[in-house]
């Protein structure tokens, strides 16, 4: 029987909630682990004992920036700190110029609503937004080929579709976008931490991710990688003192721009979130992202196959590129989520589906138990 390359029991001992629950909700919120708990405590102790230690706290934000950069095979200077993917997307969107002939935004229908909303908000400034449809829970390359034209300024494609777990071929989309002179923005929130992702070789020009899903963190911090050399072309109207060449120049009447992607930083950064984000990512990198990706893929496939074997209706593709998340169609997903929680299983309801998203700390037995319980509660709900 397959097992992960790391010591799964040792990993599980670092995640207290596994003693009482089966968390299968990494597509929404990862569980707390010893490393993230300790990181939060470090900040709280510093705040309590030093009262204020801004240099150390801002240093920790830079350490989190560097950790994310290492996570995506990039340099720290090419990573901006945001507080959400919405804000990261808006930094890019407001930094682009939609007043010329090339004003098109081609967004996939699989974008998380927040990303679509940011692009739509640019219509006031000349953007013309068009959509690549979702068909059968997937987004097809042929449809991108039809939608991207010489007028397209930017293509917006999530790596993983939050609803069904379908994963897009970023390299292929990038090729199409670049052939027609367009940029590619990738929201990798539903995959970051579940696969090896090398931003510089991905083909994307911008890659954003928050921290609370497969990255083991919490809300309030997000990261934005910008292809080297691209940042200088962006003049975002979402900005703040940390986006300046020297945040401590305190020159209210001068708008200069920080080096590299730092120009996309905004106000006072998310400090406690940075402590936690860094710790979660560092632990995962220590375990090895190749090993985590391998185990996640195995768990994901087992979830799909197990759902089908139990007669559950899987939404979206059952083979091919896929995140660890499996979506099972159900009439009242929130009631199902609540019924599962009563049995100690944490799943994630999203619209017409209940999603099971195992991650590197889960066992095959976790998946089987979750699927058995799901089949049970769905039968009871009929
Ligand atoms: C793919 C994806 N993008 C973005 C978001 C939300 O981003 P934020 O709340 O950080 O703006 C989610 C959240 O669930 C998501 O799944």
From start to end of 87-150, where are the E strands?
Answer: 104-108, 128-132
Residue 362 Cα, ligand 1 centroid: separation in angstroms?
A: 23
Q: Please enumerate in sequence order all residues whose Cβ is within 8 A of that of 290, keeping only pairs 6 or more positions apart, or say none.
A: 5, 196
Question: Ligand 1, atom 12: nearest CA belongs to which residue?
Answer: 112
Residue 348 Cα, ligand 1 centroid: separation in angstroms?
A: 14
Residue 105, φ and ψ in degrees, nearest 5? -120, 120
Ligand 1 pocket, residue 214 CB under 6 Å: no
Strand 314-315 versus strand 206-210 pairing type: unpaired
Q: Which atom of ligand 1 is nearest to the CA of 162?
A: 16
Residue 60, φ and ψ in degrees, nearest 5? -70, -35
Residue 380 Cα, ligand 1 centroid: separation in angstroms?
A: 32
The enclosing H or E element of 36 equals helix 34-50
Question: Ligand 1, atom 5: nearest CA belongs to which residue?
Answer: 112
Query: Any idea what DSSP says for residue 357?
Result: B
Rg (CA), the chain: 21
State residue 381's pLDDT score. 87
Ligand 1 pocket, residue 158 CB under 6 Å: yes
Ligand 1 pocket, residue 13 CB under 6 Å: no
Ligand 1 pocket, residue 139 CB under 6 Å: no
Ligand 1 pocket, residue 189 CB under 6 Å: yes
Residue 85 Cα, ligand 1 centroid: separation in angstroms?
A: 6
- Crossing angle of helices 364-381 and 333-342, in 10° steps, is 120
Ligand 1 pocket, residue 273 CB under 6 Å: no
Residue 114 Cα, ligand 1 centroid: separation in angstroms?
A: 7
pTM for this one? 0.97
95 C-beta neighbours (distance < 10 Å), count? 20
State residue 382's pLDDT score. 81
Q: What is the pLDDT of residues 331-343, one digit of tens each?
A: 999 999 999 999 9
Q: Which atom of ligand 1 is nearest to the CA of 219?
A: 10
From start to end of the chain, where are the E strands?
Answer: 22-23, 79-82, 104-108, 128-132, 152-158, 183-187, 206-210, 222-226, 314-315, 326-329, 345-346, 348-350, 353-356
With beta carbons less than 8 A apart as the criterion, state whether 9 and 23 touch.
no
State residue 167's pLDDT score. 98
Q: What is the pLDDT of residues 188-216, one digit of tens each?
A: 999 999 999 999 999 999 999 999 999 99
State residue 337's pLDDT score. 97
99 C-beta neighbours (distance < 10 Å), count? 10
CA atoms within a 13 Å half-sphere pointing along the CA-CB vector of 133: 5
Return the residue matching tokens 């940075």.
274
Among 80, 114, 160, the mutation site with the greatest number of ligand 1 atoms within 8 A of its Cβ is 114
Question: Ligand 1, atom 14: nearest CA belongs to which residue?
Answer: 28
Ligand 1 pocket, residue 114 CB under 6 Å: yes
b/e per residue, 233-250, with b = 16+ CB within 10 A?
ebebebbebbbbeebeee
Q: What is the pLDDT of residues 122-138, one digit of tens each?
A: 999 999 999 999 999 99
Mark the ranges of the chain whose per-residue pLDDT is less than 50: none
Among 80, 107, 157, 162, the mutation site with the greatest number of ligand 1 atoms within 8 A of its Cβ is 162
With beta carbons less than 8 A apart as the criterion, state whether 242 and 268 touch.
yes
Among 190, 207, 217, 325, the mutation site with the greatest number of ligand 1 atoms within 8 A of its Cβ is 190
């Amino acid at each position: 029987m397959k097992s992960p390359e790391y010591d799964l029991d040792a990993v599980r001992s670092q995640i207290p909630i596994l003693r009482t629950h089966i968390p299968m909700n990494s597509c929404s919120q990862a569980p707390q682990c010893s490393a993230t708990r300790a990181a939060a405590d470090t900040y709280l102790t510093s705040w309590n004992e030093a009262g204020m230690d801004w240099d150390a706290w801002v240093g920790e934000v830079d350490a989190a920036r560097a950790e994310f950069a290492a996570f995506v095979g990039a340099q720290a200077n090419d990573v901006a700190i945001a507080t959400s993917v919405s804000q990261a997307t808006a930094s890019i969107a407001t930094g682009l110029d939609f007043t010329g002939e090339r004003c098109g935004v081609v967004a996939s229908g699989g974008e998380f609503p927040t990303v679509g909303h940011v692009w739509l908000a640019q219509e006031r400034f000349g953007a013309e937004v068009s959509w690549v449809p979702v068909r059968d829970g997937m987004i097809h390359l042929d449809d991108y080929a039809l939608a991207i034209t010489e007028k397209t300024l930017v293509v917006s494609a999530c790596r993983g579709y939050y609803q069904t777990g379908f994963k897009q071929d970023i390299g292929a989309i990038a090729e199409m976008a670049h052939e027609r002179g367009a940029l590619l923005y990738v929201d990798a929130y539903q995959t970051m931490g579940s696969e090896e992702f090398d931003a510089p070789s991905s083909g994307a020009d911008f890659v954003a991710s928050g921290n609370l899903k497969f990255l083991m963190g919490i809300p309030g911090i997000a990261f934005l990688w910008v292809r080297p050399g691209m940042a200088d072309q962006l003049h975002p109207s979402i900005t703040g003192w940390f986006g300046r060449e020297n945040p401590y120049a305190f020159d209210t009447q001068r708008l200069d721009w920080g080096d590299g992607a730092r120009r996309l930083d905004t106000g006072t950064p998310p400090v406690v979130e940075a402590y936690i984000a860094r710790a979660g990512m560092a632990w995962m990198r220590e375990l090895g992202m190749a090993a985590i990706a391998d185990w996640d893929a195995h768990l994901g496939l087992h979830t799909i196959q197990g759902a089908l074997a139990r007669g559950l209706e899987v939404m979206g593709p059952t083979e091919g590129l896929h995140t660890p998340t499996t979506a099972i169609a159900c009439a009242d997903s929130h009631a199902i989520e609540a019924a599962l929680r009563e049995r100690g299983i944490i799943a994630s309801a999203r619209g017409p589906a209940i999603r099971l998203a195992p991650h590197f700390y889960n066992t095959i037995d976790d998946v089987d138990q979750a699927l058995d319980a799901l089949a049970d509660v769905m039968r009871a709900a009929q």
